[in-house]
Amino acid sequence: MDEATLKALRTTLALTAAMVTGAVSAHPVHEVVQNAYLTLSPGKVGLELELTAGPQVAGRLIRALDRNGDKQISPAEAHAFAGRVLAQSRLTIDRRPLVIRTLSVDVPSYAALLGAHGTIRIVAVAARPTQRGGATLAYQNGYSPAESRCDANIFVKPGRRVADRIEGQDHSPDGRALIVRYVNATR
């Protein structure tokens, strides 16, 4: 799947999850909505984490982002924030930890964050061994700036000679953890 197709699937999945959980009908005013999208690709696991704060908790996210209090989020502040958020996440394959590296951070305007109308998007990646056979990927989101509504989903992006096939997945009741059983096959 190309990036545009993956993005469209993520958006559709997020909207579907929001409708099922009631987020569309009632904006969560006292929560941070956290959606994690993991993508298995040859040699890596992509992680896209979206954070949307309700109006009653937006100030907590803003203070965590705008460390110097100048009412502007600099690229350095955004990158440092992403590092702190990702440091509270765990990603493993067969119980071996993977190193998560920030690729980019998209932060809406200060005004949008203050009005709880913006979503922070952190894009990260972790190298992974591409081994033939079955494996288990585990993701744990430990970031908890306030009461949170969490969800995590998995996507597969096949390579030219390598393809992963999802065999099963389990979500924790609170949406913070995802365990994915997959098989890697060389074409």
Residue-wise pLDDT for 24-74, tens only, equals: 445 578 889 999 999 999 889 999 999 998 888 888 888 999 899 899 999
Stretch 117-126: mean pLDDT, rounded?
A: 94
Confidence (pLDDT) at 114: 82
Domain count, the chain: 1
Residue 5 covered by a domain: no
Residue 11 covered by a domain: no
Confidence (pLDDT) at 10: 57
Return the structure tokens found at 85. Answer: 């958020």
Residue-wise pLDDT for 73-99, tens only, equals: 999 999 999 999 999 999 999 999 999
More confident residue, 145 or 13: 145
Residue 10 covered by a domain: no
Residue 153 covered by a domain: yes
Residue 4 covered by a domain: no
Say if residue 113's pLDDT is above 90: no
Residue 27 covered by a domain: no
Predicted TM-score (pTM) above 0.75: yes
Instruction: Give alpha helix (H) positions in the chain.
Output: 3-21, 58-65, 75-86, 110-114
Residue 18 covered by a domain: no
Q: Which residues contact 183 (CB under 8 A, 6 or more apart)?
A: 133, 134, 135, 164, 165, 167
Residue 172 covered by a domain: yes
Report residue 125's pLDDT band, with 50, 70 and 90 as the boundaries. Answer: very high
Concatenate the DSSP letters of all residues of 132-153 into one string: SEEEEEEEEE---SSSEEEEEE
Range of the domain at 148: 32-186
Confidence (pLDDT) at 145: 85
Confidence (pLDDT) at 82: 97
